Amino acid sequence: MMTTRFRLFLTLLVLLLAGAGIAGFVEAAKQKSVKSKSAKAKLAAPMPVLPPLPKTGTLKPPSGNTSFTFIVAGDNRPATQTPTPPVITGHIIHDMKQYQPSFILWTGDVIAGKDPDANEIQLEYQAFLKLVRRAGVPVFNAPGNHEMNAAKNAPCKAMGAFYQKYMVTELYGAFAYGNSRFVAVNTDSLKKGVNCKPPTKNYDNTGYVNRDQIASLDAYLKANADAQYIFIFMHRPMMPKGGGGLDTASRAKLEKIFAKYTNIAYVLAAHEHLYYNALTQDSSPPPCRPATGKGPPFYLVSGGAGAPLSGDKEGEEQGELAADAFYNYLVFQVSAGGVKATLVNCGTDANPDPKKKVCQAQPSCG
The 3-state secondary structure of 74-131 reads: CCCCCCCCCCCCCHHHHHHHHHHHHHCCCEEEECCCCCCCCCCCHHHHHHHHHHHHHH
Residue 361: which of 351, 194, 292, 347 has the closest Cα? 347
pLDDT in tens, 129-154: 999 999 999 999 999 999 999 998 99
Mean pLDDT across the stretch 108-124?
97
Mean pLDDT across the stretch 285-293?
89
Whether residue 15 has pLDDT greater than 80? no
Q: How far apart are the first and last CA of the chain?
A: 103
CA distances from 137 to 101, 125, 129, 133, 275 (A): 7, 18, 12, 7, 24
Mean pLDDT across the stretch 102-130?
97
The mean-pLDDT minimum among 72-86, 202-216, 306-320 falls in 306-320
The mean-pLDDT minimum among 17-26, 205-214, 281-290, 326-335 falls in 17-26
| CATH architecture, domain defined by 48-363 | 4-Layer Sandwich (3.60)
Amino acid, single-letter form, for residue 170: E
C-alpha to C-alpha distance for 124 and 110, rounded to whole angstroms: 9
Greater model confidence, 243 or 346: 346
Q: What are phi and psi of 148, to 5 degrees?
A: -100, -20
Greater model confidence, 70 or 3: 70
C-alpha to C-alpha distance for 301 and 265, rounded to whole angstroms: 14
The mean-pLDDT minimum among 36-50, 53-67, 248-262, 289-303 falls in 36-50
Q: What was the pLDDT predicted at 312?
A: 65
Torsion of CA 282, 286, 291, 297, to 10 degrees: 50
Q: What is the pTM of this model?
A: 0.86
Residue 149: which of 168, 139, 167, 162 has the closest Cα? 162
Amino acid, single-letter form, for residue 235: H
In this prediction, residue 244 has a pLDDT band, given cuts at 50, 70 and 90, of confident
Whether residue 195 has pLDDT greater than 80? yes
Q: What was the pLDDT predicted at 311?
A: 75
Q: Are strands 298-302 and 264-269 parallel, antiparallel or unpaired?
A: parallel
Q: What was the pLDDT predicted at 108?
A: 97
**Residues across the chain:** 366
Whether residue 235 has pLDDT greater than 60? yes
- At 33, which helix (H) or strand (E)? helix 4-41
C-alpha to C-alpha distance for 268 and 217, rounded to whole angstroms: 15
Whether residue 97 has pLDDT greater than 50? yes
Q: What was the pLDDT predicted at 7?
A: 55
Angle between helices 248-258 and 211-223 in degrees, nearest 10 = 10
Share of the chain above pLDDT 70, in %: 85
Residue 309, SS3 per DSSP: coil
- State the average pLDDT for the chain: 87
Whether residue 179 has pLDDT greater than 80? yes
Residue 240: which of 172, 303, 177, 320 has the closest Cα? 303
C-alpha to C-alpha distance for 232 and 213, rounded to whole angstroms: 13
pLDDT in tens, 35-87: 444 444 456 678 999 999 999 999 998 887 779 999 999 999 999 999 999 99
Mean pLDDT across the stretch 258-270?
97
Residue 278: which of 321, 246, 306 has the closest Cα? 246
Q: What was the pLDDT predicted at 366?
A: 58
Bridge partners of residue 72, in order along the sequence: 105, 330
Q: What was the pLDDT predicted at 319?
A: 60
Residue 174, SS3 per DSSP: strand
